[in-house]
Structure 1
Amino acid sequence: MPRAHRPHIWASTPLHVKDVISSFTRIRSPTIVATPTAFPAERGHAKKLRSSMPHTHHGACQCGTVRFEISGAFDCFFLCHCARCRKDTGSAHAANLFSTTATITWASGQDNITTYKVPNTRHEKSFCRTCGSAVPGLQMDGALLVVPAGSLDSAIDIRPNAHICCADRAGWDSNLQDVPSMDGLPG
């Protein structure tokens, strides 16, 4: 029997940037290290949550039509298991970086971006019209930059802060550490 859909923080209720920032600060400390009790799955390991230095990151869509540069630090990195994020990615979860201070510069293809917003929600996804790859988008009237982690070509120095909306995760998405790992394709 399917589980009831549980909306996440950006799903359907009115929200202001200060509320989003507040939710971020409940999960991370602005100065970098979380206590082990804040992340039970990682007990005993201090965790770097936010880049301490501004960086420049480059990224592109799969076909290369959309190219961009991000300047500044990321505030948070979440792996969201809500049904909408799973539909967006066709996978177990979305992996998105969030920033209220970083800026984006489009090197090419900005006119090739489509943004789909789920009606009556705040859930939206920006993607390349040609190849369908997820690309960054400005949300909340431009106050929040959301960057799909897989769209970046440069390395990032922030680890995911948390798996979120786990109550809505796919039924097959559990105990995956027991699934064999391979460095390449099977066979």
Structure 2
Amino acid sequence: MTDQEENTMMQGSCMCGGVRYEYAGAFGTITICHCSDCRKAQGGSGVIAAPVEKEKFQWTQGEELIQEYESSPGKKRAFCRTCGTPLYSRRDAEPATLRLRMGSLDSEVEATPAAHIFTLDLPAWATISDNLPHYDTHEPGRASASE
């Protein structure tokens, strides 16, 4: 997990405010994924996501507005069905973990991305202008499935 304090309560929401959540845990390694699925799901050059512990995550409003889409076998991407805000992804094989979309956080956090992943998929129109490590696929030590 990152330097984010374990017991800090963080809040997040979708763009329309219909879905709200709280998280009281630490973030895992935050990455910026540039795989084609993440680009399509976000509508940009990639997604900034962090693994979080599902047991420390709770919906405080609008759970009925969450729609999940199975983007590949066993992989679900969740969004607000009213405004379309991406909220998390999850894998059936990892039921204790959600990959939280950092853009949905309302709380300020100290945590920052550690790496760019799936940079082989980065389109020519997108550039990376920071000094974070770049990996062709996943960062070292992570399973082979994409975000």
Match runs of 1:28-177 below 5 Å = 49-100=2-53, 103-120=56-73, 122-140=74-92, 141-174=94-127
Question: Moved runs in structure 1, 4+ residues, more than 3 A?
Answer: 136-141
Contact 1:72–1:101 (8 Å) recurs in 2:
no
* Residues 101-155 of structure 1 deviation map (CA, whole Å, 9 limit, x = unaligned): 76111111101100111243x4431000100011135544521121100100001
Relative to the length of structure 2, the TM-score reads 0.78
Q: CA deviation at 1:68?
A: 0.6
Larger Rg: 1
Contact 2:75–2:91 (8 Å) recurs in 1:
no
Residue identity in the other structure for 2:106: D
Give ranges in structure 1 of 5+ residues lacking alignment: 1-29, 31-48, 178-187
Residue identity in the other structure for 2:18: T
Residue identity in the other structure for 1:129: R
Q: Which has the higher helix share?
A: 1
Distance 1:92 1:65, change over 3 A: same
What is the DSSP-based 3-state SS (H/G/I as helix, E as strand, rest coil) of the residue aligned with 1:142?
Answer: coil
CA distance in 1, matches of 2:91, 2:56: 13
Identity of aligned residues (%): 31
Distance 1:101 1:129, change over 3 A: closer
CA distance in 1, matches of 2:95, 2:9: 19
* Residues 27-69 of structure 1 deviation map (CA, whole Å, 9 limit, x = unaligned): xxx6xxxxxxxxxxxxxxxxxx432443211011011110110
Relative to the length of structure 1, the TM-score reads 0.62
CA distance in 1, matches of 2:59, 2:75: 22
Q: CA deviation at 1:174?
A: 2.4
Give ranges in structure 2 of 5+ residues lacking alignment: 131-147
Q: Which has the higher strand share?
A: 2
What root-mean-square deviation, in Å, do the aligned CA atoms of Structure 1 and Structure 2 show? 2.1
